[in-house]
Structure 1
Amino acid sequence: MTHLQEEFLSELKSKAKLTVAEYAALYNKHSKLAIEHEKNNGASEPKAKAMGDYYTVSVLSDFVGNDDLIDRIMALQ
Structure 2
Amino acid sequence: MATIASVDRPSNGFSGAALLAPFRAVGRFMIMLAEASPQMKALNRLSQLSDQELAAKGLTRDGEVRRILGGSAAL
TM norm. shorter chain > 0.5: no
Max Rg structure: 2
Higher RCO (CA 8 Å, separation ≥ 6 residues): 1
TM-score, normalised to structure 1's length?
0.29
TM-score, normalisation: structure 2: 0.30
